[in-house]
Amino acid sequence: MKAHTRETQATMTPKKSLQFLKEGNLRFQQNLKANRNLLEQVNDTSDGQFPFATILSCIDSRVSAELVFDQGLGDIFSVRIAGNFVNEDILGSMEFACKLAGTKLIVVLGHTSCGAVKGACDDAKLGNLTTMLSKIKPAVNAVTEPQDATLRNSKNLEFVDNVSAKNVQLTIDRILKESDVLAEMQNNGEIMIIGAMYDINTGEVTFYE
């Protein structure tokens, strides 16, 4: 499989880009990697990059977007931060990726048993981590069940995963609210912004369509 070129990127649509990721994740689950020469792709992309998707995911060592979607060099922009939330710098990076570099799809990718979400659920305090986890607290507060405070912590994995899903939704809401550039591009059909969840037990990505 060759690296994307300006010509192949131009043929990509938001829906086609999403389909590429779905097919890549299926290959990953089946342990059937696409046939690609990474060193050849190094050479092919030395003069430029033409990725088709931008993926915001967690820093979790089990959730490498390039691996779980079976993509090669030059295929995706990968933005990683614990808890997969957005700030001004990440929004700027996404605006660059879509408006200037031509990606057609933004995926906000959460995952099950997320450590950052667990920390937010437990109201963990530690240096700069405290401020970082505060970005995820709105998702914790938005999940109203269970109401029993003794069940609203990291030991309740169902609660943790529900918070992770809510965090993905709220992150997309923030993207659309805080980036006029990306909101306009989605309204015009130039890009699609979609949420997804990676299951650390199976390797499957479920898209919120």
Residue ranges of the annotated binding site are: 58, 60, 111, 114
3-state secondary structure of 52: coil
- Cα 179–Cα 87–Cα 151 angle in degrees, nearest 5: 115
* Residue set of the binding site for Zn(2+): 58, 60, 111, 114
202 by Cβ neighbours in 10 Å (0-12 / 13-18 / 19+) ranks as exposed
CA pseudo-torsion sign 176, 181, 185, 187: positive
Q: Write phi, then psi, for 22 (nearest 5 degrees).
A: -60, -45
